[in-house]
Amino acid sequence: MLSELEVDDFIAQKSTFDLLIDARSPKEFYESHIPNAQNFYALSDAEHQEVGTLYKQVSRNDAKILGARYICQNVALHLQEIAKTYKIGSKIGIYCARGGLRSSSIAIILSHIGYQVYRLIGGYKSYRLHVLTYLENFPHHRFIVLGGNTGCGKSELLQTLQPSIDLEKLANHLGSSFGSIKGAQPSQKAFENSICEILCKIDSNAYIFIEAESKRMGKCTVPPLLHERMLQGYRVEITAPLSQRVERILKDYESITPEFFNQAMQIIAPYIKKNAKEAVIIAYEKHDLAEVAKILLVEYYDLVYKKPHHIDFSLDNADEMATLQTLQTLHSQFTSIKNASNQP
């Protein structure tokens, strides 16, 4: 069985697919893809380039024949992997770049074998248009925004609070000069796809926990409407004892390499006093990361932190369980008030 779906219907059924196939090349897939998709490519990176060049510069017919040859070879290998995990009759969603030859070729073969195949009309291009349109018009207005100095435990709180959006996790960046410590970031497209995926699953009337962030998080940019809604949200300022803040960021600083440390120190040099910078470097050379963290928190992060003019609620996070309970109670109260206001 082979069905072709417009993007809205495809997304509505996506959670029912046993397997979601991205038939594009690995390079295209790596840059960004629909969340939870697996890359069973029709053409490898080299094959995709070769066929494209032949199509543009020599002959469209020759390119189609060459592409078909490569697709048959690749599908033969993919079928072995797919059959190991997904039995005949499983529901499979599939897409390529624009809903063309690559996805249709694999979809026809899978459907003839006996899989239930759903192909996305317009391919990944139509999905990206859906994401961008959604992020420009999403209906969620109620955000509980957690602000506070570095290391106060906002990220840890978000891991438990629901519903929530952890932008630092999605961007793989801590939103600071040392923010890229966690490694490579996703592309802007992948970042937006993840945000859209999460928002779509949350009731549009729900209060959503989110951390206060600047517009840019490393190379990722928070969608304008989301950032605007965050600024309009209910602001909770989180505080915590310095000793606990040091303890938290040490978990990240333990993996700092000398090269990364030196690059980060060069970036913050204009914003930290010379004697403080020298003290940080000496502490790092002595492998005293606790002292490094303490100096950076007091002499850099706390000084550059811009506390908002308006704070709705302040909360000390010395006891994380107590903090979570307070925030969950706050969420319940807001939800009750909203539900009461909607009563006839």
Active site residues: 96
The DSSP annotation for 165-195 comes to E-HHHHHT--SSTTGGGG-PPPPHHHHHHHH
Rounded to 10 degrees, the C-alpha dihedral 265/168/33/55 comes to -30
φ/ψ of 2, rounded to 5, equals: -130, 120
Task: Write down the residue that tokens 């704070």 correspond to.
Answer: 311
| 327, two tokens | 């925030």
For 266, the token pair is: 């060069």
Which of 107, 79, 85 lies closest to 95 in space, CA to CA? 107
Whether residue 184 contacts residue 172, with contact meaning beta carbons closer than 8 Å, is answered with: yes
Residue 224 burial by CB count (10 A; 0-12/13-18/19+): exposed, middle or buried? exposed
CA angle 252, 254, 259 (to 5 degrees): 95
Please say whether the beta carbons of 223 and 135 come within 8 A. Answer: yes
| Residue whose tokens read 């803040």 | 245
What six digits make up the tokens of 27?
Answer: 């390079």
200 and 163 in contact (C-beta within 8 Å)? no
Distance of alpha carbon 167 from alpha carbon 174, whole angstroms: 9
Angle between helical axes of 123-137 and 188-200 (0-180°, round to 10): 70
